Structure 1
Amino acid sequence: MLHKCRSYLSTFLFLTLLLSVFSGNACAAEQQKVLVVDISDSITPVTDDVLADAIAFAENDNYEALVITLNTPGGNLDETLSIMEQIAATDVPVIGYVYPEGTKAWSAGTLILISTDIAAMAPYTIIGSAQPVTVTASGSEPVEEDKIINAIVKRTTENAKMHGRNETAAGKFITENLNLDAQTALEYGVIEYVASDIDDLMSQLDGVEVKDKVLDTNGADITYYEPSLRLAFMGIISNPIVSSMLLLLGVYAIILGISHPGFGAELFGVIAIALGLIGTGFDVDIGALFLVVAGVALLVLEFQAPGFGVFGIAGLVCIIAGSILLVPTDFPNNYTPAEFQRTLIISVATPTILIGLFFVFIIYKVFEVRRKKPLFGELIGDMALALEPIGNGQTGYVLHRGQHWKARSSDVIEKDDKVTILEKDGVVLVVEKLKDESESENQIGVGQD
């Protein structure tokens, strides 16, 4: 009897343990996950790659939703359109969220927000200013070409229509540079939610149907997407300011390496230019590159061959013009506010002009030295003092008017002998042993100017 009781007790304990394990697994299975990917700073080709990777990550790991936090002044139009297409193509519900408080999602950021399945903003955030502009020497001008404006407006209003949002406001973001705060955007039907943080947003979204799926986000685990090392590095060099500065530094490093070989500056220059080109997505103006290359060639010619500075000045003009043209501000490849584009031009043009002025100063000094007569006067016939043995094929140094000169002679000259300077062969003096030393003390001029 006791044996049977023990057997029943063991079976009961086993079933209880098994039930608790299954219950734990069921609870764990019910715990949903939400992936958060951050888009901040300018939208570049790498932003497109980062979002594609995050979407694939969310699809493969069965995430309940993907939240895109937006804090951007704008960016490349091609990548913005690609991001819109990725959002529409994935089965994962994509939530656009302008966050944190006090930030913005201007121009391209606004277009992305309108394209998401659910649009939300944190309090005190702003969206808008989506009208494209071009930057000229006299300032900035809005793009008013109907072909461009109509295409962007139609794409944006169709995205708003697809998600049941205010199409009129969506169009005015582009045609009138409309700006809206979070509460006004909610009242106008541009967004669906205003949330103080991600937890608050997840609580509000719980039970909402998106893409034929009812969201279960209340209390969901929040996972923040971390890009791979490769994408993180690409994100740094694809910043328009960083990529433009890499191109600029590469050009001047190659100039330095050619004029002063042996320090590896040429290698650094090639690497910097390669990284700069990769960072810009190889979308570089060929004319600008030609100007930079021509400028480098002219500067090298100025350094290597005597001249009057004409080649050097022309080279500087070419490099400055080419460097400014390399700044990626042309529309529609770059869809950013005019203020950001002007800052970008100043960031690249200022060091270019400063370095250019430095080279102008060097060329001026070289030109001045070329025109200046030698300060040491006529050497021929002057006396000097041998500082070491000279002759028999051996060169040595002599002292003339406080300066050390390398010298050679067909005579055998000992240290401290007086010599006469016969001629100057480059930087080497041709001397002979002094025949008459009676007046040598006054003629050597040791230590005199």
Structure 2
Amino acid sequence: MKRHASTGYPIFAAAFSPLRWGLLLCLALLCLHTTTLSAAAPDNGIVIKLTIHDTIQPITAGYLERGLQEAARRHARAVILSLGTPGGLLDSTRTMVEDIENSPVPVIIYISPPGSRAGSAGFFILESADVAAMAPGTNAGAAHPIVEGEKMGPILKQKIENDAAAFLRSYTERRGRNVAAAEDAVRNSKSYSDTEALQLHLIDLISNDDQSLLNALDGRAIRRFNGNTEILHTRNAAIVTLEPSVRERLLSRLTNPNLAVLLLVVGGLLIYLEFNVPGTIVPGTLGTLFVLLGLFGLDLLPVRHTAVALLIAALVLMVLETKFASHGILALTGTIALVFGLATLVDGPIPQMRVHIGTALGAGLGFGAISFGLAWVALKAYRNKNLMGPKAMIGATAIARTGLDPTGQVEIRGEIWQATLYGESAVPSGSAVVVKAVEGLTLIVEPASRA
């Protein structure tokens, strides 16, 4: 092996030594840069922020579950949920409370911004948190359970109240909060301002914004639902907002009962139009899509089966109107059934989860008006069907092209016909005559003045 004359090292080592020293220099600079960054910007951790300003339903429950899983995956210091809701479904509320209780990451429920509220189901979620907080000018409570938006009988009312109160007690007591005041929100629909909630030990603190809330909680010892004690380290933590996905936003819109009903009605109308004007394809395709989207949204909501029966009856009556001449009676009955069916379709526990009467009236009356129009067109077509061919000329006026004495030719509807004069000796050319009958290819006519 050849060696370098001055150093004695192998020639190939001497050739590659500048490259080697360059790599070592780059690694040294990289290590120095990393050390500098670590010293300049210490890792304060992250806090995952979720936002639910909507009714409580399966989509919001799924969003919370996804957020808690993401926080656990990223080893977040805590999860802060900005909450503002009028309430929602009890089943979804139970799911969300269970997820909060089992979360490996501490959960902070924060009623914000000012002016927000945690009504009904929102109060149950607030009390289930590791840390419950409210912004100034917010309120929470009014958690009395409602079934199907109806007035309950005394026995059913007592059973539902007792069940909801026991559910709230099951975790409020473990969180060290005021069980009696919390239960009062269920049994007597009490609602509390932020200061009242703090004085009654229903919440842990009042804070103006997210960052001041996290700074105030730094170093605080909290007791997790499993009994373990944990120290929060949230000061100057980076807040990472987890937005709802496109799917969650779309499904959340579909769970709006008014939108779901409008999609259902418009889709049904387009399919109805396709049946009356076959071959257009586009109305039927769009109508099927709208109906499927409406049904998908309604599937996420509590639906009253009697209302579904009314909608089916309304559809059957309107279809029958186009087949039988009932002078609008079937269509009118169908419209009334449609309005009542739409108005009572969703059994929402709060007004925001029911179909507005204005939506039901507008959709029902609009569908009924169009059904009346289609029924009128069908009735005219039915009548005109009996007036096709030569018999359709009976009673029509013709013009004599030759003198009728008593036979000759007349023009009617742009056609020349043989005609025989009835009851008169002669009619001059150019006179108006009226068709009285058709015998084969001959029209029986009489003078228009006599008719």
- TM-score class, shorter-chain normalisation, is 0.7 to 0.9
Matched AA of 2:246: L
User: Distance between the aligned counterparts of 1:67 and 1:312, measured in 2?
Assistant: 54
Q: Do the aligned partners of residues 383 and 134 (structure 1) sit closer, same or farther apart at CA in structure 2, a change above 3 Å counting?
A: same
May I ask how many residue pairs the two structures share in their alignment?
Answer: 387
| Structure 2 partner of 1:193 | 205
Q: Are 1:168 and 2:153 counterparts?
A: no
User: Distance between the aligned counterparts of 1:385 and 1:75, measured in 2?
Assistant: 80
Is the contact between residue 327 and residue 348 of structure 1 (CA under 8 Å) also seen in structure 2? no
Is the contact between residue 42 and residue 239 of structure 1 (CA under 8 Å) also seen in structure 2? no
Is the contact between residue 133 and residue 205 of structure 2 (CA under 8 Å) also seen in structure 1? yes
| Structure 2 partner of 1:322 | 341
Higher alpha-carbon deviation: 13-22 or 27-36: 13-22
User: Distance between the aligned counterparts of 1:327 and 1:320, measured in 2?
Assistant: 13
| Structure 1 partner of 2:440 | none
Q: Are 1:439 and 2:451 counterparts?
A: no
User: Distance between the aligned counterparts of 1:349 and 1:150, measured in 2?
Assistant: 35
Quote the offset at 1:349 in angstroms.
Answer: 1.9
Of 366, 370, 383 in structure 2, the residue corresponding to residue 355 of structure 1 is 366
Higher alpha-carbon deviation: 295-304 or 359-368: 359-368
| Structure 1 partner of 2:446 | none
Higher alpha-carbon deviation: 264-273 or 47-56: 264-273
User: Distance between the aligned counterparts of 1:75 and 1:235, measured in 2?
Assistant: 13
User: Distance between the aligned counterparts of 1:70 and 1:201, measured in 2?
Assistant: 14
Of 237, 255, 267 in structure 2, the residue corresponding to residue 250 of structure 1 is 267
User: Distance between the aligned counterparts of 2:432 and 2:306, measured in 1?
Assistant: 63
Provide Cα deviations, 1:322-367, integer angstroms capped at 9, x if missing partner. 22232232xxxxx42xx5467x332432213432552586489679
Q: Do the aligned partners of residues 382 and 78 (structure 1) sit closer, same or farther apart at CA in structure 2, a change above 3 Å counting?
A: same
TM-score, with structure 1 as normaliser: 0.75
Higher alpha-carbon deviation: 162-171 or 308-317: 308-317
Quote the offset at 1:24 in angstroms.
Answer: 2.6
| Structure 1 partner of 2:314 | 295
| Structure 2 partner of 1:269 | 287
Is the contact between residue 87 and residue 115 of structure 1 (CA under 8 Å) also seen in structure 2? yes
Q: Do the aligned partners of residues 82 and 366 (structure 1) sit closer, same or farther apart at CA in structure 2, a change above 3 Å counting?
A: same
User: Distance between the aligned counterparts of 1:14 and 1:256, measured in 2?
Assistant: 73
Matched AA of 1:266: G
Of 391, 397, 400 in structure 2, the residue corresponding to residue 382 of structure 1 is 397
Quote the offset at 1:25 in angstroms.
Answer: 3.6
User: Distance between the aligned counterparts of 1:140 and 1:327, measured in 2?
Assistant: 15
Q: Do the aligned partners of residues 27 and 60 (structure 1) sit closer, same or farther apart at CA in structure 2, a change above 3 Å counting?
A: farther
Quote the offset at 1:315 in angstroms.
Answer: 2.4
Of 334, 345, 355 in structure 1, the residue corresponding to residue 356 of structure 2 is 345
Q: Do the aligned partners of residues 45 and 430 (structure 1) sit closer, same or farther apart at CA in structure 2, a change above 3 Å counting?
A: farther
| Structure 2 partner of 1:231 | 248
What is the 5 A alignment of 1:58-97? Answer: 58-97=71-110
| Structure 2 partner of 1:6 | none
Q: Are 1:35 and 2:48 counterparts?
A: yes
| Structure 1 partner of 2:324 | 305
| Structure 1 partner of 2:443 | none
Higher alpha-carbon deviation: 287-296 or 95-104: 287-296
Quote the offset at 1:114 in angstroms.
Answer: 0.6
Quote the offset at 1:288 in angstroms.
Answer: 2.8
Matched AA of 1:233: L
Matched AA of 1:214: I
Is the contact between residue 51 and residue 243 of structure 2 (CA under 8 Å) also seen in structure 1? no
Q: Do the aligned partners of residues 357 and 233 (structure 1) sit closer, same or farther apart at CA in structure 2, a change above 3 Å counting?
A: closer
| Structure 2 partner of 1:419 | 410
User: Distance between the aligned counterparts of 1:346 and 1:441, measured in 2?
Assistant: 64
User: Distance between the aligned counterparts of 1:381 and 1:21, measured in 2?
Assistant: 101
1:59 aligned counterpart, secondary structure? helix
Uncovered stretches (5+) of structure 2, i.e. residues with no partner: 1-23, 402-407, 435-451
Q: Do the aligned partners of residues 79 and 434 (structure 1) sit closer, same or farther apart at CA in structure 2, a change above 3 Å counting?
A: same
User: Distance between the aligned counterparts of 1:431 and 1:248, measured in 2?
Assistant: 51
Is the contact between residue 207 and residue 214 of structure 1 (CA under 8 Å) also seen in structure 2? yes
Matched AA of 2:288: V
Provide Cα deviations, 1:167-199, integer angstroms capped at 9, x if missing partner. 011101111111111011101100001001101
Higher alpha-carbon deviation: 289-298 or 352-361: 352-361
Is the contact between residue 269 and residue 367 of structure 2 (CA under 8 Å) also seen in structure 1? no
Q: Supply the RMSD in Å over aligned alpha carbons.
A: 3.6
Q: Do the aligned partners of residues 234 and 385 (structure 1) sit closer, same or farther apart at CA in structure 2, a change above 3 Å counting?
A: farther
Q: Do the aligned partners of residues 28 and 385 (structure 1) sit closer, same or farther apart at CA in structure 2, a change above 3 Å counting?
A: farther
Provide Cα deviations, 1:131-158, integer angstroms capped at 9, x if missing partner. 123577xx86698622211011111122
User: Distance between the aligned counterparts of 1:293 and 1:26, measured in 2?
Assistant: 70
Is the contact between residue 141 and residue 191 of structure 2 (CA under 8 Å) also seen in structure 1? yes
1:269 aligned counterpart, secondary structure? helix
Q: Do the aligned partners of residues 245 and 132 (structure 1) sit closer, same or farther apart at CA in structure 2, a change above 3 Å counting?
A: farther
Matched AA of 2:265: L
Larger radius of gyration, structure 1 or 2?
A: 2
Quote the offset at 1:242 in angstroms.
Answer: 2.0
User: Distance between the aligned counterparts of 2:54 and 2:204, measured in 1?
Assistant: 24
Matched AA of 1:320: V
Is the contact between residue 77 and residue 233 of structure 2 (CA under 8 Å) also seen in structure 1? yes
Matched AA of 1:327: V
Q: Are 1:209 and 2:221 counterparts?
A: yes
Matched AA of 1:443: A
| Structure 2 partner of 1:403 | none
Provide Cα deviations, 1:29-75, integer angstroms capped at 9, x if missing partner. 62211111111121121101111111111111111111111111111
1:74 aligned counterpart, secondary structure? coil
Is the contact between residue 98 and residue 120 of structure 1 (CA under 8 Å) also seen in structure 2? yes
Q: Do the aligned partners of residues 231 and 385 (structure 1) sit closer, same or farther apart at CA in structure 2, a change above 3 Å counting?
A: farther
User: Distance between the aligned counterparts of 1:280 and 1:184, measured in 2?
Assistant: 38
TM-score, with structure 2 as normaliser: 0.75
Matched AA of 2:163: A
